[in-house]
Chain A
């Protein structure tokens, strides 16, 4: 079992990697640039062989956290350890960690081959071994044809693969990736997401992947650590974070949601004219209902006990191919988004959702 920490908001965030012993342990890390607090009290574990994504908007501190792991920045407080040994006291060049930079940072004066062999040569690995391992790494990323080219002569996607090979050839225990796909166009990006994920499975190295793209995070990660204004909102598997968002912010950031602010009285939540049974104490509460959990009721369909029904006007329909996102204005001013796989043209609809799909979320602390 990993440890459970209590965040500033008083809620419990499970920071442990399920089961296996953690490879990297981050404990109570904080960082400030001048008066600007970038990270506060971050605790997080990365398991052996895990693909962990640090997800957050720009300015959330995700890149700073990555740079602290790599050693380019020092944390103001807190500890990092790897396999039980302190990591934060080591300079970057003594850490068994390699980074794939956002802009790739390939050495422009060296060929692709020399770039990939750089780490091995500075470690004084015998030339014959360097050559064979470089060859292997280039084969893995399908770049052998360009071995003798300078980085300026190859495309962005190719540079990205070279940067990956340059890091992996050193067989690090942990690979850090700082938005490595953000410079690629949408198609290449989706292709690289799949490639990167299967490559990670193949080599079995732990990946810490930083991105601002929630879809990318969902597709690739074993676990997602959602960072907001320097604090962890939630650390969980993509499935869990989607179906059980802990906070209103998480629910809205990951996918679409309907956020309902309700008043709980005597075991029932009341939101405008809607109400449903909950197991919560009296007081204010927020609930997240995913659009796909709201369904259109056909005329004359009998109501199941406890299900929340409402009528509304169709405001807007957005076609997404397999599904359609429909915005419905309920009579009392509530706006609902719902996802359907097909609905005939109409102006008024009756919809329903089940109380079990209304996930209670807490509000994140307001910070400036």
Chain B
């Protein structure tokens, strides 16, 4: 149907793009993860599993990985806890104000990530808005110092940033539920609560899975929020990777950690897609 030249013309650019900017870098990273750094700070191209050994034997690496996952889990749970009711309300009860409210939820996505992270810094700092207010109303006499430079600050900021990402797929899933199913459920004697748990929620599961995956995966790989707001106790795995590729000049170890993260994330995405498929009916 299409000429050979045409088919080549449309397939080559994307293939080239994926090869140059995705496959080659990953391949390089894969190679680097087996190499090492000499005392003279040069890359030694000898193949060994030392980097991976380090990752699992040195406490600092796997503890940070576990902490990152724990932070990501909390961000995921809070994003769902905020995003689901919001999406449910908008989809089922907002009526004419639906579009306006939808835009309001989406607007933060247009604001730079850095601005939002800095905003939390001004709110949570010891001279910040929150501490000033708490002291002004005499709830505390000294600024609360756990607010900033803590895992708490990271979880709070990431939740704020990724809630719209959890909200969107849930909202889309809820919008896809035919309203006559809700009517049918009511008609068959199910109260609004029974209808929610037996019909609405099960049919929104693909959206929940997608939203949870977004929130978890994006949080897990985040490095700006911990850098700006995390302090020493809020360091995440990506900060370590950044340091290894930068100041520490240990690209091989950085590559090994990155590769482990990649495997983790890709398996999660795979799992999440399977779950979404299992719960989709069209």
Contact = CB atoms under 8 A, between A and B. Distances in A.
Interface stretch (B143-151, B195-203, B245-253): B195-203
Contacts of A106: 184
A92 interface: yes
Contacts of B190: 93, 118-119, 122
Interface size class of B (residues with CB under 8 A): 20 to 34
B279 interface: yes
A109 B199 CA distance: 8
Interface stretch (B64-72, B104-112, B155-163, B175-183): B175-183
Interface in A159-193: 166-167, 170
Contacts of A99: 183-184, 187
B11 interface: no
Given A105-B181, A107-B181, A109-B203, A98 B187 contact: yes
B281 interface: yes
A144 interface: no
A74 interface: no
B281 A92 contact: no
Interface residues of A, number: 26
A97 B67 CA distance: 55
B116 to A, nearest CB: 37
A23 to B, nearest CB: 18
A105 B178 contact: yes
Given A150-B281, A166-B188, A108 B203 contact: yes
Nearest to B177: A108
B12 to A, nearest CB: 40
B183 A72 contact: yes
Given A122-B194, A122-B198, A105 B189 contact: no
B interface, over-half SS = helix
B185 interface: yes
B186 interface: yes
Given A118-B188, A119-B188, A122-B194, A152 B281 contact: yes
A322 to B, nearest CB: 40
B184 to A, nearest CB: 4
Given A72-B183, A122-B194, A122-B198, A109 B281 contact: yes
Contacts of B192: 93
B180 A103 contact: yes
Contacts of A93: 186-192
A167 B189 CA distance: 11
A119 B189 contact: yes
A190 to B, nearest CB: 26
Given A93-B190, A122-B188, A122-B194, A105 B183 contact: yes
A82 to B, nearest CB: 15
Interface in A104-127: 105-109, 118-119, 122-123
Nearest to B178: A105
Contacts of A97: 187
A101 B281 contact: no
A340 to B, nearest CB: 47
A70 interface: yes
A105 B202 contact: no
5 contacts: A70-B187, A105-B181, A118-B188, A122-B189, A123-B189
Interface of B: 178, 180-181, 183-192, 194, 198-199, 202-203, 279, 281-282
**Interchain residue pairs A-B with the least CB separation, the first 8:** A108-B281, A119-B188, A105-B184, A105-B180, A122-B190, A92-B186, A93-B186, A99-B187
Given A93-B186, A108-B181, 19 more contacts: A70-B183, A70-B187, A72-B186, A92-B187, A93-B190, A93-B192, A99-B184, A99-B187, A101-B180, A105-B181, A105-B184, A107-B199, A108-B282, A109-B202, A118-B185, A118-B198, A150-B281, A167-B188, A170-B189
